[in-house]
Amino acid sequence: MKSLSKPGGGPQREGSRPPSRPPQKTGPARPEPAIPQPNGVLLIDKPAGITSHDVVAAVRRALGGAKTGHAGTLDPFATGLLLVLVGRATRIQQQLMGLPKRYETLAQLGAVSSTGDPEGEITHTGRLPSDPPPLPAGEIRQRPPIHSAVKIKGERAYKLARRGERFEMPERIVTVHRFEQLWRDGNPAHPRAAFLIECSSGTYVRSLIADLHDAYCVELRRTAIGPFKVADAVPPPRRGQVWEPRELLTVEQALAMSDDCAGRWWGCTQKVPYHFTK
Residues with catalytic function: 75
Question: The dihedral of CA 61, 65, 70, 73: what is its sign?
Answer: positive
What angle is formed at CA 59 by the lines to CA 54 and CA 63, rounded to 5 degrees? 150
Residue type, 212: L
- For residues 193 and 204, what is the distance between their CA atoms, to the nearest angstrom? 18
What is the rounded CA–CA span in Å between residue 146 and residue 161? 6
Cβ within 8 Å of residue 186, ≥6 positions away: 131
Going by C-beta distance under 8 Å and a sequence separation of 6 or more, which residues neighbour residue 69?
Answer: 56, 84, 85, 90, 93
Q: Look at residue 196 and give its three-state secondary structure.
A: strand
Q: Which DSSP symbol is given to 43?
A: E
**CB atoms < 10 A from the CB of 37, how many?**
14
Residues in a beta bridge with 43: 83
